[in-house]
Chains A and B, each alone.
Chain A
């Protein structure tokens, strides 16, 4: 029996996760509730079975997650026998950071990037596993599977450690850390095919359903609660939409779709002409913005 490409991707991801467990004293898995990190959670359990995963999950809660994803998240620990830690940037909450007042960049910087830095420092984590894939964005295509961060949590794209074979160099000094990306070599459709093959359960938002949305700046936003003030002329309409990625709901656009099963999503993706981050307002800043955000510590 020859291994399929999904078998090989799975084996590689498990190998990387096990390397994290072997090389670090206090690793954590960044769990964003999305399909990629839920796939990671599935791989985490497979990597250590029959033992329980020795690595806890950490969610950086922006306070603007979709209500459905909060429900999904809260069920995870009991269902999968893993520990889930949640961090909220309370300083940001006290400062009254509001995406509708301060905009996407400030909200993301404060609630995600700063929140992540706080949580990593508070937990003294020496390695954080993330679900980023190299096919997502041009600067990610160059990032290592074990991606070194200096003591200021910065990524230095020109000073990356060469990564040969499956040798992942996780040696660090105190204060430094590594981000590990087991899904580096997966594409969006690989993830979906794997979800289908393994029967991985996802938050319902990924599947098409009639949902109340507001069209704003060409993006279909779901008004998840009353914190989003409607502008003049805007009104909620029912559309059959689903979400290709799950970020903060004020910045995450839905796509009109009939795909209400994993098989239909795969069929849709095989035809689709836009990339999955297209619905993410955060990426639409010019040129190399993701590279800059990553240098500053964004995941």
Chain B
């Protein structure tokens, strides 16, 4: 998987002192997350589990995950501009961020959630 490759590349870098305490991580701000899925597919189950793990690790008690099944509510896909499944949307804190995929690449998920600066 390419995700493993990039993960390894990230690990090869010398550890950044800011990496473990990115901006905003130690504040009290609430996280509002939405996970768009299309039925109970293995991919969406995997994505949900990965998301839960990351949230518990990085923002315990300060997050809220709403799972939206587009099969039941397809109109929301248009309204929220969702194309890929699964898609994770960070509603809060601002600005809005979109992360697609099953979130198995933790490093990129953290970058996407701006819990870790883009770099490498």
Our verdict on whether A and B bind, yes or no, reads no
